[in-house]
Structure 1
Amino acid sequence: MDASGIDRVPDGPVRRMLAAAGRHDLEAMVAQFADDYRNTTPVHPARSFTGSAQVRKNWTALFAGLPDLTLTVHDAATGPDGKLWMEWSNHGTRPDGSMQRAAGVAIFTLRDDKIAAAQFYLEPVDQDSGDVNQAVSEAVHGAAGGDGP
């Protein structure tokens, strides 16, 4: 597997992490993270964690459960504070044959040529959640909805 769009990411630990993920090289991938790496998941705060050991655990499960996992980088930019912003997606086939797809943004903080932290906004792709009118109605009225705004 190859990580497509990797050339959009500047040289450094994020690019090396993506290349290692593309090869399913767990050791090379985990080596790009600081031991005290902090992952903050603002949309799901309980999923936030600290430590590269959890990175290892997560990617061990992903590589085993999605053997054809493919990553795609859609865009990347470095901010004035040195943070790396990356829009990306992934997809792979689960053991039951169904497809897993996710897309979003990660904002990486780098320190000493390692990934020190990330604000992580990667979410499952939902093809069947309704159109924009339904989404706005649910935001205003809750999941039970109404007739919409």
Structure 2
Amino acid sequence: MDASGIDRVPDGPVRRMLAAANRHDLEAMLTEFADDYRNTTPAHPARSFTGSVQVRKNWAALFAGLPDLSLTVHDAATGPAGRIWLEWSNRGTRADGSVQRAAGVSILTVRDDRIAAAQFYLEPVDHEPGDVNVAIGEAVRGNAGGGRP
């Protein structure tokens, strides 16, 4: 098995896009997206967008700001209507030497051999102290996602 886990993804545009991302080949990545690609981010609705132009802008910034960015697929599943579920993560080093990590799930829709849409649930990995009891307490007190007490 490939260390990136991309071989878990069925042949097609999602697999090609992930491989291109790991090569930092922006142009190859963009050929895998439909012009009217729709990215929906349910946990952060204001971050949702439509269009491959924004895909270019996002990934160009990621490649520039995280020059060693790598993606890893932990699991993948296919579903009806051209859907592919990915559990994946990424890691990259910022200019200041700090490491950025994110993990989550994306549900991608393939149409006409292009990625047409995604439900995007990728979040930064939280390295803050505190177990599940702390997280539930913060949720109940109303400051979940905010600063620590």
TM over 0.5: yes
How many percent of aligned residue pairs carry the same amino acid? 81
2:124 & 2:57 partners in 1: Cα distance?
19
Residue segments in structure 1 that go unaligned for 5+ positions in a row: 145-149
Mapping 1:133-144, distance limit 5 Å: 133-143=133-143
1:26 & 1:3 partners in 2: Cα distance?
21
1:130 & 1:119 partners in 2: Cα distance?
28
Residue segments in structure 2 that go unaligned for 5+ positions in a row: 145-149
The Cα offsets for residues 97-148 of structure 1, whole Å up to 9 and x where unpaired, read as: 000000000000110000000000000000115210011111112229xxxx
Q: 1:129 to 1:80 in 2, by over 3 A?
A: farther
Query: What residue is the counterpart of 1:18 in the other structure?
Result: 18
CA RMSD, Structure 1 to Structure 2 (Å): 1.4
Between 1:118-127 and 1:131-140, the stretch displaced more is 131-140
**What is the total number of aligned residue pairs between the two structures?**
143
Mapping 1:1-149, distance limit 5 Å: 4-143=4-143
Report the 3-state secondary structure (helix = DSSP H, G, I; strand = E; otherwise coil) of the residue aligned with 1:39.
Answer: strand
1:71 & 1:59 partners in 2: Cα distance?
12
TM-score by length of 2: 0.92
